[in-house]
Amino acid sequence: MDNPFPYSFNEKRYHTFNYYLKNRYHCKVSKVMLNAGFSCPNRDGNKGIGGCIFCSEKGSGDSNPSLSESLLKQYEDNKRIMDRKWPNGMYIPYFQSFSNTYGPLSKIREMTQLFADMDEVAEISIATRCDCLEDETVSYLDSLCEQKPVWLELGLQTSNDETGKLLNRCYDFSDFKDALYRLEKTKIRSCVHVMNGLPFETKDDMLKTVADISHLPFDGIKIHMLHVIRNTALGDMYEAEPFELISREDYISLVVDQLELLRPEVVIERLTGDPIAEDLLSPSWLINKTTILNDIDKLMRKRNTFQGIRYEQ
């Protein structure tokens, strides 16, 4: 049977980031992780202390380069690794650790202009929070889109505000929605991060998060499974009193359910994460990312389903 899904070069039944990039640039495009030395308002006392409970002292970029290296040195070192696999490709500088618009516009302008004029740079991606988007920052990034497409990656994790309080997120779902509607008026592209397996959430809660965002204006999504890692508030909570986590089989089924609820045009940047094995407390099945993705594909074929089949306009 032919693949019924239009946004695919192969057997994939969801809109992969690889499809989006190859269709646009006709070559391999790799993200290059960068650490620009930002913080977060729920970490430094502005709104809270300690950051989100699942987040390590390195932010979400535990495999990111050292802050002791300049951004250009970080970029060149990481790019060299990519070149061994995919020579003659293009790159996306990805400002990953912490909230990379939580700071003065001068710093944001300086870090992005380092890469905006490089021919080898396809796009620029910036991880941040919905409450770290000052008007002048949004205006500048909108103007930067004239040089390179700009993505803002916004951590939501869950639409459930009670879970958000447990996470020490320090903003509400309404704040998140407001940010997406603001970005809709610009040329900036938005990528939403959601997280499955958060403490005490049910399958219905996780499906509701995707249903709640499905009609909002965003361009891409990253779906993660919760990593319980050492030396975090969540890790301490788990070691003191372990809570139940989703099984591998249930996670795969859940992700397929969530994909069915999303517009076909939404780019799927991730369907699982990349925990560092020695830091991971649970679940251990997250280590083998490739087999998880393969089994998501198998289940979609078995169900004869695809992204957006249950999306209602």
Which three-class secondary structure string do you get for the chain? CCCCCCCCCCCCCCCEHHHHHHHHHCCCEEEEEECCCCCCCCCECCCCECCCCCCECCECCCCCCCCCCCHHHHHHHHHHHHHHHCCCCEEEEEECCCCCCCCCHHHHHHHHHHHHCCCCECCEEEEECCCCCCHHHHHHHHHHCCCCCEEEEEEEECCCHHHHHHCCCCCCHHHHHHHHHHHHCCCCEEEEEEEECCCCCCHHHHHHHHHHHCCCCCCEEEEEECCEECCCHHHHHHHHCCCCCCCHHHHHHHHHHHHHHCCCCCEEEECCCCCCHHHEEECHHHHCHHHHHHHHHHHHHHHCCCCCCCCCC
Per-residue pLDDT of the chain (313 residues; tens, 9 = 90+): 466 788 988 889 999 999 999 999 999 999 999 999 999 999 999 999 999 999 987 655 455 566 778 999 999 999 999 999 898 899 999 999 999 999 999 999 999 999 999 999 999 999 999 999 999 999 999 999 999 999 999 999 999 999 999 999 999 999 999 999 999 999 999 999 999 999 999 999 999 999 999 999 999 999 999 999 999 999 999 999 998 899 999 999 999 999 999 999 999 999 998 899 999 999 999 999 999 999 999 999 999 999 999 998 7
Ordered by start, the domain boundaries in the chain are 17-303
Predicted TM-score of the model (pTM):
0.95
Domain spanning 17-303, CATH class = alpha beta
